[in-house]
Homo-oligomer: A and B are copies of this chain.
């Protein structure tokens, strides 16, 4: 029997049933094994320190309590750039994917992937240094060629603050007070955003913000 060192993988996901099943699946592969599991970024950090060896690959869920995938990916990129990170998520929201990619993850996998493809994904990630499922590839292409509606989707700090506050029950006057600006300035932000985002009223802005993860409920 040929004995080859298996590549070690870490699974970070707060859904223990899923994480466990995933770990079992990976351990059934001849070329990969699970080093450990963690429920969130903090637990992962602790376990990474406690272990002598580092994993080659980290499978990282996005929606987690305590320290979510975005923060964890950022920390990994800064502290362990050699570890390949594969983001694992239910969501195929364009903004979410792009946000993770900007954090420096090496791949993005939707959780509805076929089990057979997981091995392929891990191998490709190891060999090529990246792997993206098809939907993600589409999203990337799409983001390179944004439609008219989706241009001007970058916001200045103040705009972003305004948008987030507009997603609350505050009146514009109250928002102006909090941001220490004139109500007329706030009205300027509002008007400009309505035009750029092609929306008709504040509800439209709230919907836009939620769809694009600019704020959360």
Residues of A that sit less than 8 Å from B by CB? 14-18, 20-22, 24-25, 90, 111-115, 118, 166-169, 171, 199-204, 206-207, 210-211, 217
A79 to chain B, nearest CB (A): 27
Q: A204 vs B201: C-alpha distance in the bound complex, in angstroms?
A: 14
B169–A203 contact, CB under 8 A? yes
Report how many copies the assembly holds.
2
- Name the one of B21, B24, B168, B200 contacting A18, with C-beta atoms under 8 angstroms: B21
Interface of A is mostly: helix
Q: A21-B115, A169-B207, A207-B217 are in contact. List 15 more A-B contacts (CB 8 A).
A: A17-B111, A17-B114, A17-B115, A18-B18, A18-B21, A20-B114, A21-B22, A90-B90, A169-B201, A169-B203, A169-B204, A171-B201, A202-B202, A206-B206, A206-B207
What residues of chain B lie closer than 8 Å to A16, measured between beta carbons? 112-115
